[in-house]
C-alpha cells in the first residue's frame, strides 16, 4: 500500500519567515495530494491540494509543488504568522472516486514565534 | 461549504461497554464514508471505508468485529466500538464524500475508556 513520509516533524520559525514541509510517497498511482492544518482537538482542515497533472498551485501565502517523477511534494508558507502555528499533515490518494481514502504523513508541528 | 457532524463530541465509558459514534453529512449525500483514528500526537490512520448499502472494507489490522460500521443511508454512518478497552481510547474522525469530490472531515469524537 501507499506510504507517505513527512519531514520535518517539528519546525520553528520567526514571524514573517517562510516555512517548507516536505513529503514523499511510494505509490506511483497516487494522483491527489492534499495538505491539512489541524489545531489541537479539532478536525483537519484542508488548506490546499494538488492533482498530479499540475506541478504547482498557489493560494495567497500557501503554495504546493509536486514532483511526480521523484514522488515528492512540498508545502510552502510565506510570510508566516503566529496563527499559522498548528500541526500540518500531507496526504496522498489515488483520485477519482477514492479521493477520501487518504494515507497521511506523520505530521509537522509548526510554531511561528512573534 | 459542506458540513459534516459527529456525535457525541466526547464520550467516557467503562471498560467492556460499547460506544456508538454517529457521522452525518448535513447538506450533501455521502456515498462513501471513511473512518479514521488518531492517537495523541500521532497521525490519522484509516480504519475502514464504507459505501452506502454495502459492507465496510476494513484496513489491515483493524478488527471488523470490534469496530462495527454501518452506512445505512446517504447521510449517516455509525461506528460502534464494541467491548471497549483503554487501548481503544482515541480521537475518531469520519470523512464524508460525495462522488468526484474530496471528503469532508467531521469534528471528531474523543473516546476515553476507563
Please state, for a pLDDT cut of 70, what percent of chain B lies above it. Answer: 99
Q: pLDDT category, B2, cuts 50, 70, 90?
A: confident
Chain segment B40-77, per-residue pLDDT in tens: 999 999 999 998 888 899 999 999 999 999 988 999 99
Q: Which of A45, A97, A104 sits opposite B44 (nearest CB)?
A: A104
Q: Over the stretch B19-33, which tens digit does the pLDDT of each residue have?
A: 999 999 999 999 999
What string of H, E and C letters represents the secondary structure of chain A? CCCEEEECCEEEEECCCCEEEEEEECCCCCCEEEEEEECCCCCCEEEEEEECCCCEEEECCEEEEEECCCCEEEEEECCCCHHHCEEEEEEEECCHHHCCCCEECCCEEEEEEC
Q: What is the pLDDT of residue B99?
A: 83
B-facing residues of A in 58-97 (CB < 8 A) are: 89, 96-97
CA distance A9 to chain B (A): 11
Give the nearest partner residue to B46 out of A32, A97, A102, using CB atoms. Answer: A102
Q: What is the pLDDT, as a whole number, of residue B33?
A: 94
Shortest Cα distance, chain A CAs vs residue B107, angstroms: 5
Q: Which of B42, B102, B39 is nearest to A108 (CA)?
A: B42
pLDDT score, position B100: 80
Quick one: pLDDT at residue A98? 55
B59 DSSP assignment: P
Which pLDDT score is estimated for A100?
A: 63
A60: phi > 0 → left, psi -120 to 50 → alpha, else beta; which?
left
Average pLDDT score, chain B = 93
Which residues of chain A carry a pLDDT beneath 50? none
Amino acid at each position: 500500500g501507499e506510504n507517505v513520509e513527512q519531514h520535518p516533524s517539528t519546525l520553528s520559525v520567526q514571524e514573517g519567515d517562510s516555512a517548507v514541509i516536505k513529503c514523499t510517497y511510494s505509490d506511483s498511482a497516487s494522483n491527489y495530494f492534499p495538505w491539512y492544518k489541524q489545531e489541537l482537538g479539532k478536525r483537519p482542515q484542508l488548506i490546499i491540494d494538488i492533482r498530479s497533472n499540475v506541478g504547482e498551485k498557489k493560494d495567497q501565502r500557501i503554495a504546493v509543488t509536486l514532483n511526480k517523477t521523484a514522488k515528492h511534494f512540498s508545502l510552502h508558507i510565506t510570510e508566516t504568522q503566529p496563527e499559522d502555528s498548528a500541526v500540518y499533515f500531507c496526504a496522498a490518494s489515488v483520485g477519482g472516486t477514492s479521493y477520501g481514502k487518504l494515507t497521511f504523513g506523520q505530521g509537522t508541528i509548526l510554531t511561528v514565534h512573534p | 461549504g459542506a458540513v459534516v457532524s459527529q456525535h457525541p463530541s466526547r464520550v467516557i465509558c467503562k471498560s467492556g461497554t460499547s460506544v456508538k459514534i454517529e457521522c452525518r453529512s448535513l447538506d450533501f449525500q455521502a456515498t462513501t464514508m471513511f473512518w479514521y483514528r488518531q492517537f495523541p500526537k500521532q497521525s490519522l490512520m484509516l480504519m475502514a471505508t464504507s459505501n452506502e448499502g454495502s459492507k465496510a472494507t476494513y484496513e489491515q489490522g483493524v478488527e471488523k468485529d470490534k469496530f462495527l460500521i454501518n452506512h445505512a443511508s446517504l447521510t449517516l454512518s455509525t461506528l460502534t466500538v464494541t467491548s471497549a478497552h483503554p487501548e481503544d481510547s482515541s480521537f475518531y474522525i469520519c470523512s464524508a464524500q460525495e462522488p468526484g469530490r474530496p471528503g469532508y472531515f467531521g469534528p471528531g469524537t474523543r473516546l476515553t475508556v476507563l
